[in-house]
Structure 1
């Protein structure tokens, strides 16, 4: 994609809407919607890089109650012809067609490469990538197992969603944000993962969420790791102007 002059590409992740309660997260949701309303003026594309919701599960005819402001704004932006790309995170990995069918937003379950103005981007949420994190990797295999998802669907939504919301808030292993302090390059798993990917193919930017920390780390002279932070404490986002990708605060 060539970005038209004056247009930009935006990236955001880790809103965790609905946590710790819907009432408590509503001011954060309103702030996020206000940001979307601002960037739609010059957005060439918008990337939502996971954990938009603290919990999301799509039954055949039911989705979690709430998030009307966010979903409405995304529909408005999508209907205006601005492409939006959604990467599932560890909290909203149970996407099953709603975003594609209702909002015309493609959903990705694995990292994906994009090219903008001859700059290559490797984009994903980041959960379960890199060395270690073995407990979560085992848990993710359970969560994504078709049999487990089929069994979960047999729970009444009022019961299933309440159980999942409780676990999402209480279980730090599921949340993946119990260690949201910078661990140093050698101990940041996504940095190590990005460096391994660079051995196979050059990318200008590796863009991830999941860590809840705004980070910009040079991997070499021509490649950079970006972690987008979150919309809980930092309210940070990525902005690519056609030449450079920078982290900014709203």
Structure 2
């Protein structure tokens, strides 16, 4: 009997908006600790942090317990993977080199005899042209370097200010779930996989499509949900 695998998304750690789960980062750390040596894989499907920028000599100290438990998960034999989200795409080599956690834009794994594709899901809607352009601007090497010249404390304040305002804008946008499902179904065909796992829209669910299954772990802000994979099947877990 194979060990279960777990998939989490959209924790947005580093902020505590109104109505959020109390002590949610500590709650997430406890959950991750419970999986040490008891899971085959843990995949974080993007936006673990509300903001992440990797300076050469600076790491956000408020997340040290989380980093500790991720490193301990790896040492216990769990394959831990981290995907870039739209809020935390600016990773460097800290997670792979210091914690043993590889970072990906997209990922394909074979788990329990199933091919599973992972991607955060930002930029998927056809109407999201503006975001796709903005992402290219933010991720442009010169702009990344210019931001690195800002003091980390100041950079974090700027990023969180921008994030708060973009979140207010995003809350008023209608999510077209069918666009995500159509995209996911096309991924199932293109990648010849059994499951397409994504996040970004914060809607937890498992949906059957024409060519397989598309699923989202949900979010870890106002709810605490994740996906568990056992004996080749997916289920949604809510704490």
TM-score (norm 2): 0.91
Return the alpha-carbon distance in structure 2 between the equivalents of residues 249 and 25 of structure 1. 13
C-alpha deviation, 1:194, in angstroms? 1.4
What is the aligned counterpart of 2:52 among 44, 56, 66? 56
In the alignment, which residue of structure 2 is the partner of 1:218? Answer: 208
* Gapped regions of structure 1 (runs ≥ 5): none
Confirm or deny: 8 A CA contact 1:129 1:190 kept in the other structure.
yes
1:61-140 equivalent positions in 2, closer than 5 A: 61-109=57-105, 111-140=106-135
Aligned: 1:239 with 2:228: yes
3-state DSSP of counterpart to 1:114: strand
What is the aligned counterpart of 1:146 among 118, 134, 141? 141
In the alignment, which residue of structure 2 is the partner of 1:14? Answer: 10
Confirm or deny: 8 A CA contact 1:130 1:192 kept in the other structure.
no
C-alpha deviation, 1:25, in angstroms? 7.4
Instruction: Decide whether aligned partners of structure 1 residues 208 and 98 sit closer, same or farther in structure 2, where only a CA change above 3 A counts.
Output: same
Structure 1 outlier segments of 4+, above 6 Å: none
Per-residue deviation, residues 189-242 of structure 1 (Å, max 9, x unmatched): 32121122234343211101111110211112x511101100112211111113
What is the aligned counterpart of 2:162 among 147, 161, 167? 167
Per-residue deviation, residues 82-138 of structure 1 (Å, max 9, x unmatched): 1100001111111000101110100002x2221123211110111112422111111
In the alignment, which residue of structure 2 is the partner of 1:27? Answer: 23
* Gapped regions of structure 2 (runs ≥ 5): none
Instruction: Decide whether aligned partners of structure 1 residues 145 and 244 sit closer, same or farther in structure 2, where only a CA change above 3 A counts.
Output: same
Return the alpha-carbon distance in structure 1 between the equivalents of residues 201 and 182 of structure 2. 14
Greater alpha carbon shift after TM alignment, 195-204 vs 156-165: 195-204
Count of aligned positions = 237
Confirm or deny: 8 A CA contact 1:7 1:241 kept in the other structure.
yes
Instruction: Decide whether aligned partners of structure 1 residues 25 and 18 sit closer, same or farther in structure 2, where only a CA change above 3 A counts.
Output: farther
3-state DSSP of counterpart to 2:40: strand
Confirm or deny: 8 A CA contact 2:185 2:212 kept in the other structure.
no
3-state DSSP of counterpart to 1:171: helix
What is the aligned counterpart of 2:186 among 186, 189, 196? 196
Instruction: Decide whether aligned partners of structure 1 residues 178 and 9 sit closer, same or farther in structure 2, where only a CA change above 3 A counts.
Output: farther
TM-score (norm 1): 0.87
Per-residue deviation, residues 111-168 of structure 1 (Å, max 9, x unmatched): 2221123211110111112422111111100111001001111111121111111111
3-state DSSP of counterpart to 2:206: strand
C-alpha deviation, 1:54, in angstroms? 0.5
